[in-house]
Structure 1
Amino acid sequence: MIPGNFITLLIKKDYTDLLHNFYSQPNYFYFMNNIENPEDLAKCPFRGTRVGGAIGTSPQIDDWWPNRLQVELLHQEQPVANPLSGENYKEAFNKIDYENLKKDIKELLVNSQEWWPADYNNYGPQMIRMAWHSAGTYRIADGRGGASQGMQRFAPINSWWDNGNTDKSRRLIWPIKKKYGAALSWADLIILTGNCSLEIMGFPTFGYAGGRRDAWEPDRSTYWGPEFWEGKPYDQSLAGQERKGHPDEMVKANLRWIGGPKEKYHDLENPLAATHQALIYVNPEGPEGNGDPQDSARNIRESFKRMAMDDEETVALIAGGHAFGKSHGMVSADKIGAAPEAAPIHAQGLGWNNPVGSGNGINTMTNGIEGSWIPNPTKWDNDYLTNLLKFEWKKIESPVGAIQWTPTDPNAPKTPDAHLDGLLNNLMMMTSDIALKVDPDYKVICERFLNDFDYFTETFSKAWYKLKHRDMGPKDRYLGPEVAKEDLIWQDPIPKLNHDLIDSNDIVRLKSDILNSGLSISALVSAAWSAASIYRDTDKRGGANGARLALDPQNNWEINRPEELNNVLETLKNIQNDFQNGENSNKKVSLADLIVLGGCAAVEKAANNAGVEIEVPFTSGRMDTTQELTDAESFDWLKPVSDGFKNYHNDKVGYRVPPERIFLDRAQLLTLTAPEWTVLVGGLRVLDQNYDHSKHGMFTENTEHLSNDFFKVLTSMDYVWVPQSSDEILFNLNDRKSGATKYTATRCDLIFGSNAQLRNIAEVYAADDGQKRFVKDFVSVWDKVMMLDRYDVKDE
């Protein structure tokens, strides 16, 4: 299932060389050009918004200062935004009568509601699309997207053209959400409705897990590609012209331009997975609507790979999804109203108003392609693959001019009309369907599935389960009676705890053994930080649990100081063996626990060296996984390409944004606040954590002391910062009087002195009373990072 947006009418132009500054307010320029007397409009006192209907906003802080680092992005999803903050969702979900919940959903699916009548009197296909599009935004590069927070409810996703009319699907299932209230998140309901839809049409699902917590505000940080205002292509007529006193330079201040040659359809910009902004996967008419199946196949392979699917899973998902329902293209795109975020207030959150006829039913419009792939659109069977491979297909146009395909054989089966009884229509295929037939590898898989329907069913069932749960993290987070018992490789499985935990006396002894082993504080901190800090909250992957730091591929990443790391691991393994073969032979301690414990012991020692006595928290219970339980190819996506915590920047990767912006992104993946981010960096620098042991940012004479020296030097006016070259990547800190170079630094060091919000935090720790506060806060956030992946003990 690869439904697109208003393909022909909206994506005929190449916009890939124009990258919208996705934090700006570009509609301001349109607004200023299209009102008669903007000076006469009243100003709302809240953020300078101009009053006067759906007009737009005045320039905001990011319009005037487009290079400003938006530190406030770390503070999204605050409890104050959540009306259910403090309530235990896990406990509430587990109290639901799950069988009755599924019964309620299935009954709703076959009772057509007059305000939005169901195709074939069955909402199943429509709800499969809703669930698919909710989960289908996931991308493996940074774990963003996916179904786990119900982000389909908010901008920009709720207003992408590819999500046309998913607003109606969610409104249709509101009676279910209303009945179960806070015990059932929108995120869980959307996916469960998709499963129930498959089941009422005869498909055996592999399983279902609840446990998704709803977001309560839009995601303002994820980059989805070149964005266009309000779900429509950006008005390029603004470029190169002057608009009522607003020269082109001001317009360009709101745009980020991609340099170099235009990107090809098969050369996606990292970390993007969809081939075009506002699409879930690919353009079903082919790249840029070109109608070429070969080009489409290349697009599909790259896009689905970026979304963590291999070729077999890709074919299964497309063929399985297109075994149900139809596509809609009966009304021209230029007649359809604005997306939900731009719709008038009386629309009450519904967008894409269709003024033709009833606006739905036989007049429904989504992606512009009209028709169904199969003769039985509400029954699970293998007709999609039969039709695709058996018949030859010719290119035609939909009623609104979109590219689609129809059988050349006049005796090919027909498909019933979705709303008019007795009317039969020709079958339809999209360019992205024909792609599965013309690509040799895809065709072999199609033939395999066609010849073994049971195997196809199993493969689609598992691929659907993966699609819906890929961003949920470890199975410890899964809720409900239908959780699949099988451990799947993409879940990064870790064996369950099978031994007694070490106690406080054991911890004291092991800390002593580690500190007396000859390993440096820097090496111990580096190992623990390397293990824990690759965690990303987007899809709950990574972290110290499992000790994958000792396995391929993580063990060999340049950023982890491999030679030093392996010396640490060998020493810790010897301590592990001595402990388990000694008087504590009835107890075991995992390598994963020892890696973290070593880091904790080193931080305590460094704090003591700096004159502060403190105990670093440690929670045991981690287990060691194996190479066989590690998907090395998938796990390698967690390798940082840039990491300001270690002053690591892989120059082999082409960058279009400064290192500090990628650094901000990594801080957000670790769920850090601005103070946590700041104090962590200050501590890691004085503990010699640069990946290559460089001295950049090490503003101290006392290494392995957990001191606030980083902040004291950073905020001092005794020095002058001088760029080493015009690119302003590296800097010298020169004594103001003598001119002698005292220290060196990177952009990821100096941002904590140049950014206003971060500098104010740095000054807290640089103050004369800042040392003890610095150590206390560093230890607190250190423990937070070490525990980010411990869903086996966290009630979340």
Structure 2
Amino acid sequence: MLDIKTDKTNTDSFEMAGKCPFGGDRIGGTLGTPPSLSDWYPNRLKVEQLHSNGPQANPLGDDFDYAAAFEGLDYAALKQDIKTFLTSSVAWWPSDYGNYGPQMIRMAWHASGTYRIADGRGGAGEALQRFAPIDSWWDNGNTDKSRRLIWPIKQKYGSALSWGDLMVLTGNCALEIMGFPTYAFAGGRHDAWEADTSTYWGPEVWDPTGSPSSDSMVTRDKRWRGKNGDADYDLENPLAATHQALIYVNPEGPYGKGDPMGSARDIRIAFTRMAMNDEETVALIAGGHAFGKSHGMVSAGEVGPPPEIAPIEAMGMGWQNPEGTGFAEYTMTNGIEGSWTPNPTQWDNSYLENLFGFEWEQTRSPAGALQWTPVDPTAPKTPDAHVPGRMNPLIMMTSDIALKVDPAYRQVCEKFLGDFDAFTQAFSKAWYKLTHRDMGPRERYLGPEKRNEDDLLWQDPIPPLTHRTIEAGDVAGLKQAIMATGVSPSDLVFTAFSAAATYRDSDKRGGVNGARLALAPQKDWTINRRTVAVIAALRGVMAGFNGKQAGGTEVSLADLIVLGGCGAIEQAASDAGVAVTVPFTPGRRDTTQDLTDVEMSNWLKPVVDGFRNYVDDSYDQIAPAVSPEEMFLDKAQLLGLTAPEWVALVGGLRVMGANHDGSSRGTFTDRVGVLSNDFFTVLTSMAYEWKKADEKGMTFTLDDRESGIARFRATRCDLVFGANSQLRAVAEVYAAGDGQARFVRDFVKVWDKVMMLDRYDVRG
């Protein structure tokens, strides 16, 4: 979700005298900056977030074809280069046990583990671990070293290998050199080129120096809803991490108190938010902790600042450790010190064997972090990662003990204890899901190790195309057949947009392809009620066409949904005096109910959809502090829209009568179904004045200034296009005397963009 919080906690003031000529004072040794727009106007709708990570930031240019570049590199040589590196060691950051594998698994895990199902944001797809704020989260301590270690490989392969692909592939290679059979790997991740300034990662004030066990832990409750320990205790949507600056959960348990049952509760909530079930959760934790060690040799207070506020001479690396050499046996990461297994660089089942084979007691690491060691003094020990001949006790984290005490997790553990092959397969598939969950359709997958033959439900599979697709002559005839059904242009446009509106660019899920609008759960959502009769009519058109064409040509329901909207827009534009041909690209396929994950699909259900003027009944419970227009902005970003595209699309949907309930709110026209610029001319007119129609200011009437008669009704998701200065500037373009033709042209362009958002089969 976009960063839409407006609470301000920094009320520090400073003297104006002696101001720096560059617009700020030196405060605390750093160059300050003047107040931002958000400081001056904290409730301002941040429309500029739609233009983040724009093409101007990309040094490779718009015409760079990453898929072609990746497919052209020597993949076998790349993997060999990675594996050769993994068993090396460099002086400035020596490898534990002579193997960088565990360190690189952690890097890949933490890059991927930011993914959350609620809004699809996070994940390894854009390699955002390189930028603020993620690069400086406490939980990502020393991942900066991991990325610098693999820089020579990135440097060698250049633009043909994205950072996102390299980090995940390095994690896979690390597993493989330690005897673990990975399920698959797919390239295709496109790097971001600037910090993520819009994603909402939580309400807390950022504390770059405090670990999750420090006094800053009191901020944990800001992201939790309900009372601690109650059945309704849950994380704020859309968050997945249980605390600021963590990927998942505090390894020392909630509040760093060493409570295994509390830790189990947090684990289940966090991993569920990451789209993982209990078996996948256990497999990931137990599998990941089969390798390597945790580091906690120095107090957190002794370690230097994270990368984003480190001294300039650190060259982007943070967490400088002043103790001893600062690395090797002095390494400090999360504060817990030790390894889970006697052989930390070999895939085996000893993690679970140790967890269940011994009783564990709470102890403290050299850094003071809470951890667990075996009560039995004869328990196996693990070799020191750097000091020859030294043996150390095994350790567990509170989050490990949680798997033993939670009944459901324990049952999964016992299954894996008795069937190592099942454990291996479960971890292999869970790791694949973790590292690929945000990549979207398999058409985006690249490389010789991708697996397209398996229908994994989390990939939202669509059966392959098995018939000839329709051509230009068929398109014209089908448009006529659709119009002959008697379905109104408004209903056709509403249905096509409703199918496309589930798409989100964050994890490339949703969209028209697959025609899931006609399947559960989407067909049963309140917002989609208008589509049911339309889908039935389109099925009739499909039945009348398929099986009757020469050469086996058939049309999918998904294509008909889009085609109906295109035909309706052409008619509506003609009625407005503008002749247009709406682009249409056939080839969509229909999926089945068996290939649809109902539970995960329900995460695509909107709470607010301003495009269709919809506010769910649960709005007051889910997001009472977030205005509908802020959630509308969030959805516009998930569709990948610019501000002008957002304005044009809404203006067209309104005059086409595309409200979810068929109401006239925001239509601002007496010619519903005509693609006019009436929405904008009324919105910007001073002949009317707006008045609240309810106490909360959620609905409004537009009253004629002279007569006082209410002409139209509206919601906040209508008025925002006249109230927000940036959006109004665009609306005025379309409201101007020469705006009608421009509006129709721009609406058709953005309509085609939205209909094609999920067509990775043709756009790569």
Give distance in 1, aligned partners of 2:207 and 2:310. 9
Q: Confirm whether residue 775 of structure 1 aligns to residue 751 of structure 2.
A: no
Bigger Cα displacement from structure 2, 132-141 vs 330-339: 330-339
Bigger Cα displacement from structure 2, 256-265 vs 541-550: 256-265
In structure 2, give the amino acid aligned to 1:450.
L
List aligned pairs for 1:95-114, cutoff 5 A: 95-114=72-91
Corresponding residue of 2:214: none
Match of 1:321 among 257, 277, 288: 288
List aligned pairs for 1:37-436, cutoff 5 A: 39-44=17-22, 48-50=23-25, 54-85=30-61, 86-229=63-206, 231-232=208-209, 266-436=233-403
* 2:225 and 2:236 in contact (8 A); partners too: no
Corresponding residue of 1:4: none
Higher RCO (Cα < 8 Å, 6 or more apart): 1
Bigger Cα displacement from structure 2, 181-190 vs 391-400: 391-400
Give distance in 1, aligned partners of 2:268 and 2:234. 11
In structure 1, give the amino acid aligned to 2:111.
S
Q: Give secondary structure in 2 for the equivalent of 1:229.
A: coil
Corresponding residue of 2:465: 497
Evaluate the alpha carbon distance shift between residue 499 and residue 258 of structure 1 in structure 2; reply closer, same or farther with a 3 A threshold.
Answer: closer
C-alpha displacement of 1:725: 2.8
* 1:125 and 1:325 in contact (8 A); partners too: yes
Give distance in 2, aligned partners of 1:794 and 1:142. 23
Give distance in 2, aligned partners of 1:544 and 1:794. 15
For structure 2, list consecutive stretches of 5 or more residues without a partner in the other structure. Answer: 212-220
Give distance in 2, aligned partners of 1:599 and 1:639. 21
Evaluate the alpha carbon distance shift between residue 259 and residue 281 of structure 1 in structure 2; reply closer, same or farther with a 3 A threshold.
Answer: closer
In structure 1, give the amino acid aligned to 2:611.
F
**CA deviation profile, 1:537-556 (whole Å, cap 9, x unmatched):** 00000000001111110111
Q: Give secondary structure in 1 for the equivalent of 2:552.
A: coil
Bigger Cα displacement from structure 2, 205-214 vs 568-577: 568-577
Give distance in 1, aligned partners of 2:647 and 2:41. 22
In structure 2, give the amino acid aligned to 1:106.
K
Evaluate the alpha carbon distance shift between residue 22 and residue 197 of structure 1 in structure 2; reply closer, same or farther with a 3 A threshold.
Answer: farther
Evaluate the alpha carbon distance shift between residue 388 and residue 325 of structure 1 in structure 2; reply closer, same or farther with a 3 A threshold.
Answer: same
* 2:204 and 2:222 in contact (8 A); partners too: no
In structure 2, give the amino acid aligned to 1:77.
N
Give distance in 2, aligned partners of 1:507 and 1:703. 26
Match of 2:482 among 487, 508, 514: 514
**CA deviation profile, 1:91-112 (whole Å, cap 9, x unmatched):** 1101111111011011111111
Give distance in 2, aligned partners of 1:533 and 1:43. 48
Q: Confirm whether residue 625 of structure 1 aligns to residue 591 of structure 2.
A: yes
Evaluate the alpha carbon distance shift between residue 461 and residue 596 of structure 1 in structure 2; reply closer, same or farther with a 3 A threshold.
Answer: same
C-alpha displacement of 1:698: 1.2
* 2:53 and 2:192 in contact (8 A); partners too: yes
Corresponding residue of 1:608: 574
Q: Confirm whether residue 740 of structure 1 aligns to residue 709 of structure 2.
A: yes
In structure 1, give the amino acid aligned to 2:494.
S
Give distance in 2, aligned partners of 1:368 and 1:290. 14
Corresponding residue of 1:237: none
C-alpha displacement of 1:500: 1.1
In structure 2, give the amino acid aligned to 1:394.
E
Match of 1:727 among 686, 692, 696: 696
Equivalent residue pairs, number: 747
Give distance in 1, aligned partners of 2:5 and 2:304. 23
Give distance in 2, aligned partners of 1:665 and 1:71. 10
**CA deviation profile, 1:16-53 (whole Å, cap 9, x unmatched):** xxx998689977x55x56xxx65213131xxx344685
RMSD between superposed Cα atoms in Å: 2.0
In structure 1, give the amino acid aligned to 2:468.
D
* 2:503 and 2:757 in contact (8 A); partners too: yes
Give distance in 2, aligned partners of 1:21 and 1:609. 40
In structure 1, give the amino acid aligned to 2:533.
N
* 1:147 and 1:468 in contact (8 A); partners too: yes
**CA deviation profile, 1:129-165 (whole Å, cap 9, x unmatched):** 0000000000001100000000000000000000000
Q: Give secondary structure in 1 for the equivalent of 2:235.
A: coil
Match of 2:510 among 530, 539, 542: 542
Give distance in 1, aligned partners of 2:223 and 2:284. 33
Corresponding residue of 2:664: 695
Corresponding residue of 1:12: none
Give distance in 2, aligned partners of 1:229 and 1:463. 31
C-alpha displacement of 1:337: 0.9
C-alpha displacement of 1:260: 8.4
C-alpha displacement of 1:386: 0.1
Q: Give secondary structure in 1 for the equivalent of 2:88.
A: coil
* 2:225 and 2:235 in contact (8 A); partners too: no
Evaluate the alpha carbon distance shift between residue 79 and residue 120 of structure 1 in structure 2; reply closer, same or farther with a 3 A threshold.
Answer: same
C-alpha displacement of 1:226: 2.3
Evaluate the alpha carbon distance shift between residue 665 and residue 513 of structure 1 in structure 2; reply closer, same or farther with a 3 A threshold.
Answer: same
**CA deviation profile, 1:27-80 (whole Å, cap 9, x unmatched):** 7x55x56xxx65213131xxx344685233221111000000000000012111
* 2:224 and 2:235 in contact (8 A); partners too: no
C-alpha displacement of 1:261: 6.2
C-alpha displacement of 1:280: 0.4
C-alpha displacement of 1:726: 3.3
Evaluate the alpha carbon distance shift between residue 632 and residue 767 of structure 1 in structure 2; reply closer, same or farther with a 3 A threshold.
Answer: same
Q: Give secondary structure in 2 for the equivalent of 1:710.
A: helix
* 2:582 and 2:752 in contact (8 A); partners too: yes
Q: Give secondary structure in 1 for the equivalent of 2:570.
A: helix
* 2:187 and 2:446 in contact (8 A); partners too: yes
Give distance in 1, aligned partners of 2:41 and 2:663. 32
Q: Give secondary structure in 1 for the equivalent of 2:577.
A: coil
* 1:25 and 1:60 in contact (8 A); partners too: no
Give distance in 1, aligned partners of 2:646 and 2:505. 15
Give distance in 2, aligned partners of 1:604 and 1:510. 14
Give distance in 2, aligned partners of 1:49 and 1:168. 32
Give distance in 1, aligned partners of 2:222 and 2:467. 56
Evaluate the alpha carbon distance shift between residue 231 and residue 438 of structure 1 in structure 2; reply closer, same or farther with a 3 A threshold.
Answer: same
Evaluate the alpha carbon distance shift between residue 406 and residue 629 of structure 1 in structure 2; reply closer, same or farther with a 3 A threshold.
Answer: same
Give distance in 2, aligned partners of 1:376 and 1:258. 38
Give distance in 2, aligned partners of 1:740 and 1:520. 30
Corresponding residue of 2:757: 788
Q: Give secondary structure in 1 for the equivalent of 2:696.
A: coil
Bigger Cα displacement from structure 2, 131-140 vs 337-346: 337-346
Evaluate the alpha carbon distance shift between residue 57 and residue 301 of structure 1 in structure 2; reply closer, same or farther with a 3 A threshold.
Answer: same
Give distance in 1, aligned partners of 2:718 and 2:209. 39
List aligned pairs for 1:467-506, cutoff 5 A: 467-484=434-451, 485-506=453-474
* 2:58 and 2:193 in contact (8 A); partners too: yes
Task: Give the structure-2-normalised TM-score.
Answer: 0.95
Give distance in 2, aligned partners of 1:516 and 1:159. 60
Q: Give secondary structure in 1 for the equivalent of 2:31.
A: coil
Q: Give secondary structure in 1 for the equivalent of 2:657.
A: coil
Corresponding residue of 1:652: 618
**CA deviation profile, 1:494-517 (whole Å, cap 9, x unmatched):** 111111121111100000111111
